[in-house]
Structures are given as structure tokens and as C-alpha cells.
Structure 1
């Protein structure tokens, strides 16, 4: 059982990655993101997930400095935005991100989306950055099985993480099983389906039995499925509430009922058909 915010999964290269963190997609650059990140760190979070495309890396970096927590205790993720994909452009994009974050190294760098004709060159650049010691772990985001198979055909290093849309309406069982077999850690973005599921009767019913909210039930479901999760919030009380999921455990029956909610329904773009 994953028992606290300090618990971690071990990636296939031996790096420890927290099971739980804060996502900052659509969090406004400046005071909003600084306040949210500091609230999370003060609440015990040690993993922060941003992206070049979110436009808030500077604020995340400032919050990290202002938190007073030693850098080595934090796990910081960012991503190559789609317009920067390609070999040389990824190397430049990394330097821009690391400068904005004001960090000496990254804990995890991801290919944000599988941009056709570019993501393999992007991966080669990320491999170089990893081999040069600039990044502790590398991975991808929004990759389907066929994208993973394609990238691993001639990759020197297989991805350590695949961050994807994952929630009870899109449980991606086949992808989850594939990643597990290949030692690629699955990570969930928008685990609460942007709030769409927080009033679902089944999830509320399960939550009532544990004195938990539907959101807390979903986040616990993620962890018990061995999926790293990074819910986004800008409200301190919600950031604290989201992390209050380590004092209960869903039963096998609960997990199966939640699994039954799957409809293969996305709220984000389809990785095989997206615009950038």
C-alpha cells in the first residue's frame, strides 16, 4: 500500500519518482502558479509537473527557490512543446526551459506529444541530454502503444515514463498493461477529468463509506492501479484535500466498480489526431 506523499516508484534506471504530485496545466504564470506550487510543497508534495507549453516555468522555478526545500528533495518535470520538436530545436528548448526554471538539472523531461515525423528526432536529443547528465530520467507523454513501439525500434534508451490522459472514463487498460510489461511507468494527467466526475453517484457512494470525496476516491484508484498521478489545483485547501488519500484503501470490489465506468472517452486530444 502506498502510504504517504513521500512514497515513490522506482523507474527502470533506478531513479525514485514520487507517486503523487502537483500538475500546473492552465495555471497562470506569475503569482497564481507560485502560490499553488508553494502551497503544494508546504503540504508535503515533492513532485511538480509543468511544460514549456504551459507558459509558467519561470513561476514554478521561483516557487521552488522560495519554498526553501533542498533541490535534491524535489522531483521536477517539464516537457518539450510541439513546435520545438526535432533534434537541434529540442536541445535549444531544453536550455530555455532549464533557464526559466533556474535549475541545474531536470528530474524528468518528456516529449509532450507524438508529433509525426519529429518525435523520434526529439527522442534522440533527449537521450543525449540524459547521457550528458542534464536529466535524471526521460520519457514521453500522450504516446499510444504503436508510438512506443516505433520509438523503441531504434532508441538507445527506452522511455522511463509515459504520461497520458487517465481517469475512470478512460482507463487505458491495454496501454497500462503494455507499459507495465516494458517497465515504463504510467502517469495520469487530468485524473479528475477536469472535475467532470466529482459528482458521479458511484464515486460519491464509495467515498461516503470511507468519509472521502469522489475526487479522493479517483486519486486513490490511480495509486492502487500503480499509476503516478498529478492532479491540478490552485486552491490550497483543495491541494491539501487531494493529498489526503493515504489513510484508506479501496477494496477489490471498489476497484472493479470504478473500472466499469470506462467508456474510452477523452476530454483531451486524440494522440493520433491532434493539432499543434
Structure 2
């Protein structure tokens, strides 16, 4: 029923239709994950800083213990947060995530952002300066990445990757990486389609996963998308997520509303034709809904 997986550069496969848990409230996210899995989703995206991995872990245990869905059939991602980039913290926080998610191994572990913050303990709170900006520290990505590679060697994760990395950051990482990142998870939707990043990642064999594929809901009233939704008799989220899959991205929409969770998975029974894809491609305005310049005072995308 679902779109085939993409094969990553290391031979592992990532399902193109996933389910995200960012900003999913506690006491709701667990049931949302169960519902997604029960309706055929086999790709769940998590992160320690989302603050809900314990509840997600309970959902995993419940579903896998029932025996109807095998752990081996579900692709599970998590992420190392900015406060945990120092050499002695990487494995520690990977193991905390594994404990919270009640897993022995992650399918994919990402460096969440290409910046290091002062350590604030297991709470993962953002350290701040007097002006409210994030308190960064000088930890080379190389130091963090070398520890990420050790996680693969130790069998704690199958694959490692990055998130929110631009071309410059990726090209630098590739000069020393012994294990190449297989995924870069970034904000991607027709209004921020990042064609240059897409072309570069394709050349170096890095798969792109689209987070905030609906533009955090900001663009659901767009006239062009609404017209296409009417044409294809699909919802606006369906059109936006289908665009991502046809461009070649995996996509991880999120919701805790049952009807929306089920609807977001209904993107594999239709194809947007070339002329309509071109209409969507012309919407690119390089507009981000998730920019650390505004919430951390760190302009990494400028």
C-alpha cells in the first residue's frame, strides 16, 4: 500500500512515508505513534529534545509486544541534541535515547543541528546568554562525528546522518568522515524546496528527508495547492507530501489528531502529473518556518 523505500548509500532502506513526533504533546504522542503504525506507517521520526521519547518508547513496546508488527519492519530515527556534542557525551545520550525508546538499536541517528551548545544535563534545556541567545561552545563537528561513527561500530545504530546541514557544512564533513552520512533531514516543502542542496546531496549520495513538509501549516491556504487538492480529490497535506515523495524525499508529517494521522498516510494511491509538479516547483520562495536565527540568535542558514 505504501510508497517503496529509498535505498541509502550504505544499502539500508528508508521508507518514504514516515511519521514525525516533533511538537507532539505528551499524553497524546504515544497513541498517535500506535495509530500511525497500525495504519501501515513503518518510519517513525523521534528526537531526544522533543521531550517525548519515553512515551513513544511505551508505544513501541506495546505494539511490538503484540507481535502484529515486527521491530525489524519499522525504521526508527532519533537525534543527538546540540548540548551533547562533546566527545564524552555522544554515546551517553544515544544510550539514554535507546533506553527511553526501549530499543536495542536505532535505524538512524542524526546530529540534530551543526552547532554545539553548553551542556545542561539530561534535561537538554537550551543554555542562554544574557541577551537570550543560545550559549554556544567550540566543539568541532569532526569530534562529534567521530563519536557518531563509534556508535555504528558498537552496533547501537545502523546508520548515521545529519540534520539542518547546508552544503558548506556537508562538504567539510565529507573531508574526514570514515562513515559517510546517509541522510540529511531538513525543512523541505514547495515554498522552501532547496534545489541546490538537493542537487548537491544527490551527487554525494545523501538522501534528504523533509521535515515540516506542510510548512508548519503556514501555507495550507495557498491557492495553487488548494486547486490541485480539488483536482486530485485529495487533501492539501496529501498534495504537499506527495510533492515531496515525487521529488525524491522521504517525508515525515506529524499530527496527534487521528483523522489527520490517517489522512497524511494516503499519498501513495495517486501521482501528480508533470505539469502540476511544475506548478508546485514554481512556489519556491526560500521561506523557512524553522530558522534558528529567530529562536537561538544563530544565523546558520544566512
* TM-score normalised by L of structure 1: 0.95
Equivalent pairs counted in the alignment come to: 270
Greater shift in the superposed pair: 171-180 or 124-133: 124-133
Structure 2's unaligned 5+ residue stretches are: 117-138
**Aligned positions of 1:116-265 closer than 5 A:** 117-265=139-287
SS in structure 2 opposite 1:95?
Answer: helix
1:270 shift after superposition: 4.7
- Give the match for residue 22 of structure 1: 19
Provide the rounded CA distance (Å) in 2 between the counterparts of 1:6 and 1:59: 28
For the 8 Å contact 1:200–1:214, the answer to whether it is kept is: no
RMSD of equivalent CA atoms: 1.3
Equivalent position to 2:9, from 7, 12, 28: 12
Q: Name the larger-Rg structure.
A: 2
* TM-score normalised by L of structure 2: 0.87
1:6 shift after superposition: 5.7
Structure 1's unaligned 5+ residue stretches are: none
SS in structure 1 opposite 2:62?
Answer: helix
Greater shift in the superposed pair: 115-124 or 175-184: 115-124
1:122 shift after superposition: 1.4
1:198 shift after superposition: 1.5
For the 8 Å contact 1:27–1:33, the answer to whether it is kept is: yes
1:59 shift after superposition: 0.9
Deviations 1:122-143 (A, max 9, x none): 1111111112221111100000
Deviations 1:100-143 (A, max 9, x none): 11101000000000016342211111111112221111100000
For the 8 Å contact 1:142–1:162, the answer to whether it is kept is: yes
Provide the rounded CA distance (Å) in 2 between the counterparts of 1:97 and 1:12: 25
- Give the match for residue 36 of structure 2: 40
For the 8 Å contact 2:31–2:59, the answer to whether it is kept is: yes
